[in-house]
């Protein structure tokens, strides 16, 4: 007993050996054994190696049913096994320890053995296969209770979602001090924590019910997002109808919800919602003519007019809401913004054109693509019109691609698209003169698809007729791509039948287009019968192009299906054909996009290191970028070792994975991983790294972009550069300056869910490796970086927001310097010798006549010359003086941005509405994208932003505001009349 006293007081202090305590376990006295167990439990972290030799004694003490401290012995045994690394045994004894296992402790032992992983694993199984220990359930219940007692509601919600405990989810939200905030948090994390699509739908259903039942401020924006992914068009329509028929604030909220739903680009769902709204004005004529006549006879005309006026006022918001849901209004507003703010540098394009050899068709086509991307959606085709001779060098498929580029430039011109492309489209009966080449016609049909992507109801009949009226494979190829884009995700049965007919003709070119087109048409449908039809045809045909097109199409049909796509993926991944296995990797990316699903990641990593085909391994690594795009910071860590692989195809896939996942973020980890690959020994790895770097850095500050821009121009202007690398540099230049330097790549909406059109288009874009015309799909991933404020009439009022940072931080890059050292003497305007002689003679005569006082002296002439831009030295001197003045003037710390304004994602956090502003956002914390504004002084007149874009069919815009017009070189004016005097020569 003398030994027990000092040991229990503080054995951890200065105890060099546990041998004495261990020997006490052999005593027959229960009190001594209990004291030894308690003392050893305190020193086990430092003396576990000694105690491990007596683990059998401790286990025997637990197994003795008559021993009073069995649970203490189990706890000590658990800790010994924990230190030995035997976690299963440690967990088993921890469960046996009962109340002695204190889950409130925060040490590593408790955190490791909290049994959550085991419990989660069991809960993931079907209910019939679950075998959960009751003691394990008890521990989890105590964990939930601890979270509730400590007020850790967010942690409880996370555990409830991971363990599929909907009852605990509801309990956690109800016990929160701020129920509305807890609901919003659960809605946000549902996308990342819930890996099962079926269970996610159950969670969203519960959240919608709680939003509607709880006595909290209903967040209609979140409710409609939840209903959208439950495919409940009736529920969304009911909410929007209720809001739009309410007060003005409710109407503004309805408009904002509609814009938010449009971001996800599920046009089929939006069309269903629009069709279920209240009838439009033209569908609601006056009902009872007899009553109206009676009213008129009774002299109640004024009353009837008032009622009609109120009815019209009520119908106007419905019509505006329809215009948003149909995509008509958002598309037109984006066109207006991109045109008015176009800052594409035409001189940069001219330099690239001069640097590219005309005989190099690859770089020629890449330059045409670069121009299309730089002017995507701006409607500005000045470069093409000024370089028709250079453009005419494109032949065959290069001509096909160049014509398709017109669709990128004019994307969104839904009413004028067919007129713009008219000269290049197939003509009936050979009317209208010479018929264009089949490559031009096919490219024009492809361009129509790009123009009407996701909004193709009006153009579908023409595309269908074009595909049926021609047997030319090139035209059919373009028609299939156009049909797939125009009917994206609609599942139109007539279109599918027609494309499957083209597929069965077994033409390699037309079949490839049909495969991709059917995938776009059935995107996200998971139609098993149609998938099997396509897969069966892959096994019948001998054409690799058809197999590849169909494999990519099958991947598109699996979009967002998650575990529902597993049967198709398993069937494809086990196929003997490497092209079909290639499609299985893309199907995994499509099915699990933005979910971070562990099973999908494991499959892709396994294929990336085990498949015998380089193409399949490259696709597997690249697909990781899609799965991880919801958590961009994880992707560089996951592919870090793969980026150092000996296999160049794996390195290329790692670069593209980072580019896809981290697109538009400018993330330092992504840049650091891509930097070494920019100088890779293999040319196509350099190409992938350049494109990926451009995707990551798009719309970043010019300070961080400047070195990369310089590198790109060095690649482009280096005559000895290999073609693959130069092609990648040209494509990268188009991406970082895309949309007139006013767009970024957005694979996810603000809600956190993926944007359907953008994800599918990015997946198809990656196939440019095999088929270059598919590179134009990247234009459909672009999202304007704009703040577009709209009032209650969905018009842009004259208002502004303030960016609380230095203007230079997010300013447009400076245009190419006309007096660049490399191009000195090429682009600088020259002074005609005859003009200089004439002006000198006139100045001499003016001095002789004494008219200096009237402004006719030489200095005055020099000033005139400078104003006309003919005196280069004078201009240069003035520019230097202005630059000096600007340097001396301190840069302001904030900038006022007029509606509509360019606001990059990184700039958004600095943007604020000033206090006292007339217009404020109807939904708080919105500073980018479409922002519906509330007028705080509704009685005053509103001045609206004037439209700058001319919407006249057949008239193509050739400028884009001051920013676009600035780089365009004007022809110098002809010299003035003069008299030639031989003595003056």
How does residue 712 score in pLDDT terms, banded at 50, 70 and 90?
Answer: very high
Cβ neighbours, 10 Å, residue 300? 14
How does residue 862 score in pLDDT terms, banded at 50, 70 and 90?
Answer: very low
User: For residue 757, is pLDDT > 70?
Assistant: yes
| 445 vs 64, more confident | 445
Cβ neighbours, 10 Å, residue 449? 29
Per-residue H/E/C for 752-805: CCECHHHHHHHHHHHHHHCCHHHHHHHHHHEEECEEEEECCCCCCECCEEEECC
Q: Note the pTM of the prediction, 2 decimals.
A: 0.79
Q: Which residues are CB-neighbours of 72 under 8 A, at least 6 positions away?
A: 34, 37, 38, 41, 97, 100
pLDDT, average across residues 193-199 = 81
pLDDT, average across residues 58-78 = 85
Beta bridge partners of 902: 786
Nearest to 547 by CA among 558, 556, 557, 534: 534
User: For residue 870, is pLDDT > 50?
Assistant: no
| 944 vs 97, more confident | 944
Q: Is 897 helix (H, G, I), strand (E, B) or coil?
A: strand
pLDDT, average across residues 134-148 = 76
User: For residue 827, is pLDDT > 50?
Assistant: no
| 268 vs 497, more confident | 497
| 62 vs 691, more confident | 691
Beta bridge partners of 897: 801
Beta bridge partners of 801: 897
Torsion angle defined by CA atoms of residues 482, 486, 492 and 494, in that order, rounded to the nearest 10 degrees: -40
pLDDT, tens digit (0-9, with 9 covering 90-100), for 13-46: 456 777 888 888 888 888 888 888 888 888 887 8
Element (H, E) at 612: none
Cβ neighbours, 10 Å, residue 824? 11
* Burial class (CB within 10 angstroms; exposed 0-12, middle 13-18, buried 19+) of 348: buried
The rounded radius of gyration (Å) of the Cα atoms in the chain is: 35
How does residue 517 score in pLDDT terms, banded at 50, 70 and 90?
Answer: very high
The pLDDT score that the predictor gives to residue 884 is 61
User: For residue 963, is pLDDT > 60?
Assistant: no
The pLDDT score that the predictor gives to residue 825 is 39
How does residue 220 score in pLDDT terms, banded at 50, 70 and 90?
Answer: confident
pLDDT, average across residues 618-628 = 95
Q: Could you give the percent of the chain with pLDDT greater than 70?
A: 79
User: For residue 503, is pLDDT > 70?
Assistant: yes
For helices 197-213 and 179-193, give the axis angle rounded to 10 degrees. 170
Element (H, E) at 277: none
The answer to whether 497 touches 482, Cβ cutoff 8 Å, is: no
**Residue 905 has which token pair?**
């994602």
Nearest to 219 by CA among 923, 789, 791: 923
How far apart CA 101 and CA 121 sit, in angstroms, is 21
The least confident of 110-124, 210-224, 344-358 is 110-124
User: For residue 59, is pLDDT > 90?
Assistant: no
How far apart CA 631 and CA 213 sit, in angstroms, is 33
How does residue 498 score in pLDDT terms, banded at 50, 70 and 90?
Answer: very high
Domain ranges, ordered by start, for the chain: 17-114, 593-784, 785-812+891-947
Its CATH architecture, for the domain 593-784, is Alpha Horseshoe (1.25)
Q: Which residues are CB-neighbours of 274 under 8 A, at least 6 positions away?
A: 321, 322, 325, 326
* Burial class (CB within 10 angstroms; exposed 0-12, middle 13-18, buried 19+) of 510: buried
How does residue 731 score in pLDDT terms, banded at 50, 70 and 90?
Answer: very high
CA-CA distances (angstroms) from residue 905 to 376, 391, 645? Answer: 19, 35, 33
The pLDDT score that the predictor gives to residue 852 is 45
pLDDT, average across residues 660-664 = 94
The answer to whether 627 touches 597, Cβ cutoff 8 Å, is: yes
User: For residue 834, is pLDDT > 50?
Assistant: yes
The pLDDT score that the predictor gives to residue 482 is 95
HSE (CB half, 13 Å, CA atoms) of 642? 31
The pLDDT score that the predictor gives to residue 373 is 95
User: For residue 931, is pLDDT > 70?
Assistant: yes
CA-CA distances (angstroms) from residue 967 to 356, 848, 877, 970? Answer: 20, 41, 21, 9
Q: Is 898 helix (H, G, I), strand (E, B) or coil?
A: strand
End-to-end alpha carbon distance in the chain: 126
The least confident of 125-134, 234-243, 817-826 is 817-826
pLDDT, tens digit (0-9, with 9 covering 90-100), for 574-621: 999 999 999 999 999 999 999 888 899 999 999 999 999 999 999 999
pLDDT, tens digit (0-9, with 9 covering 90-100), for 339-395: 999 999 999 999 899 888 777 889 999 999 999 999 999 999 889 888 888 888 888
The answer to whether 353 touches 387, Cβ cutoff 8 Å, is: yes
């Amino acid at each position: 007993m003398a030994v027990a006293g000092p040991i229990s007081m503080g054995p951890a202090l200065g105890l060099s050996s546990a041998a004495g305590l261990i020997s006490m376990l052999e005593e027959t006295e229960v009190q001594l054994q209990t004291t030894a167990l308690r003392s050893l439990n305190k020193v086990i972290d430092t003396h576990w190696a000694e105690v491990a030799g007596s683990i059998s004694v401790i286990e025997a003490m637990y197994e003795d049913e008559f021993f009073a401290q069995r649970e203490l012995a189990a706890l000590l045994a658990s800790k010994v096994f924990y230190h030995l690394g035997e976690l299963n045994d440690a967990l088993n004894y921890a469960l046996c320890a009962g109340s002695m296992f204190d889950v409130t402790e925060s040490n590593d032992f408790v955190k490791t053995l909290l049994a959550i992983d085991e419990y989660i694993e069991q809960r993931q199984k079907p209910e019939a296969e679950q075998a959960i220990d009751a003691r394990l359930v008890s521990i989890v219940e105590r964990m939930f209770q601890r979270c509730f007692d400590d007020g850790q509601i967010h942690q409880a919600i996370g555990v409830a979602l991971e363990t599929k405990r909907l009852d605990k989810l509801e309990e956690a939200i109800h016990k929160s001090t701020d129920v509305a905030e807890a609901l919003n948090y659960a809605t946000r994390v549902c996308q990342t924590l819930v890996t099962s699509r079926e269970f996610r739908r159950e969670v969203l259903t519960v959240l919608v019910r709680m939003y509607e039942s709880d006595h909290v401020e209903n967040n209609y924006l979140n409710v409609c997002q939840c209903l959208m992914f439950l495919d409940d068009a009736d529920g969304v329509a009911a909410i929007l109808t209720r809001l739009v028929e309410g007060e003005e604030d409710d109407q503004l909220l309805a408009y904002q919800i509609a814009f938010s739903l449009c971001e996800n680009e599920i046009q089929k769902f939006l069309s269903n919602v629009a069709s279920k709204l209240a009838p439009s004005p033209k569908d609601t004529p006056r009902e009872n003519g007899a009553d109206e006549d009676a009213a008129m006879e009774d002299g109640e005309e004024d009353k009837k007019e008032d009622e009609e006026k109120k009815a019209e006022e009520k119908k106007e918001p419905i019509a505006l809401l329809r215009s948003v849901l149909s995509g008509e209004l958002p598309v037109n507003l984006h066109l207006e913004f991109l045109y008015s703010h176009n800052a594409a540098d035409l001189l940069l394009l001219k330099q690239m054109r001069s640097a590219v050899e005309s005989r190099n068709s690859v770089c020629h086509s890449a330059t045409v693509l670069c121009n299309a991307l730089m002017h995507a959606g701006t409607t500005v085709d000045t470069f093409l019109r000024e370089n028709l001779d250079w453009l005419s060098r494109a032949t065959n498929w290069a001509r096909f691609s160049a014509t398709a580029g017109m669709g990128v430039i004019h994307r969104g011109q839904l009413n004028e698209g067919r007129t713009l492309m008219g000269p290049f489209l197939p003509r009936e009966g050979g009317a209208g003169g010479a018929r264009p080449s089949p490559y031009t016609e096919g490219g024009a049909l492809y361009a129509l698809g790009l123009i009407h992507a996701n909004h193709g109801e009006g153009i579908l009949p023409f595309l269908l007729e074009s595909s049926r009226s021609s047997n030319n494979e090139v035209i059919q190829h373009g028609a299939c791509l156009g049909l797939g884009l125009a009917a994206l995700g609609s599942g139109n049965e007539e279109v599918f039948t027609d494309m499957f007919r083209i597929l069965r003709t077994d033409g390699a070119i037309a079949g490839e287009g049909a495969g991709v087109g059917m995938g776009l048409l059935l995107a996200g449908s998971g139609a098993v019968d149609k998938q099997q039809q396509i897969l069966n045809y892959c096994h019948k045909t001998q054409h690799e192009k058809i197999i590849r097109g169909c494999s990519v199409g099958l991947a598109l049909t699996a979009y967002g299906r998650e575990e529902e796509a597993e049967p198709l993926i398993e069937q494809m991944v086990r196929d003997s054909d490497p092209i079909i296995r290639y499609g299985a990797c893309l199907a995994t990316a499509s099915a699990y996009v933005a979910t971070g699903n562990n099973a999908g990641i494991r499959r892709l990593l396994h294929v990336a290191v085990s498949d015998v085909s380089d193409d399949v391994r490259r696709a597997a690594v690249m697909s990781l970028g899609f799965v991880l795009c919801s958590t961009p910071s994880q992707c560089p860590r996951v592919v870090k070792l793969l980026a150092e692989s000996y296999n160049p195809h794996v390195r290329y896939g790692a670069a593209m994975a980072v580019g896809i996942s981290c697109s538009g973020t400018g993330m330092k980890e992504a840049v650091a991983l891509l930097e070494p690959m920019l100088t890779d020994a293999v040319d196509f790895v350099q190409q992938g790294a350049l494109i990926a770097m451009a995707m990551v850095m798009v719309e970043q500050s010019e300070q961080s972009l400047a070195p990369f821009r310089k590198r790109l121009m060095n690649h482009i202007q280096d005559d000895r550069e290999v073609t693959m690398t130069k092609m990648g540099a040209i494509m990268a230049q188009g991406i970082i300056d895309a949309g007139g330097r006013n767009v970024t790549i957005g694979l996810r909406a603000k809600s956190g869910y993926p944007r359907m059109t953008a994800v599918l288009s990015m997946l198809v874009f990656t196939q440019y490796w095999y088929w270059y015309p598919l590179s134009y799909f990247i234009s459909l991933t672009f999202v304007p970086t704009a703040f577009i404020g709209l009032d209650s009439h969905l018009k842009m009022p004259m208002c502004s927001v303030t960016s609380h940072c230095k203007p230079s931080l997010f300013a447009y890059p400076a245009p190419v310097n006309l007096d660049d050292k490399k191009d000195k003497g090429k682009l600088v305007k020259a002074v005609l010798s005859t003009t200089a002689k004439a002006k000198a003679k006139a100045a001499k005569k003016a001095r002789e006549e004494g008219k200096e006082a009237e402004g006719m002296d030489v200095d005055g002439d020099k000033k005139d010359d400078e104003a006309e831009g003919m005196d280069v030295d004078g201009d240069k001197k003035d520019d230097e003086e202005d630059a000096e003045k600007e340097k001396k003037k301190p840069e302001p710390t904030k900038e006022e941005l007029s509606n509509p304004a360019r606001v990059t994602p990184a700039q958004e956090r600095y943007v604020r509405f000033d206090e006292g502003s007339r217009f404020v956002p109807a939904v708080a914390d919105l500073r980018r994208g479409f922002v519906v504004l509330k007028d705080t002084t509704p009685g005053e007149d509103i001045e609206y932003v004037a439209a700058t874009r001319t919407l006249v069919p057949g008239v193509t815009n050739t400028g884009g505001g001051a920013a676009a017009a600035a780089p365009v070189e004007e022809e110098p004016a002809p010299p003035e009349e003069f008299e030639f005097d031989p003595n003056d020569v």
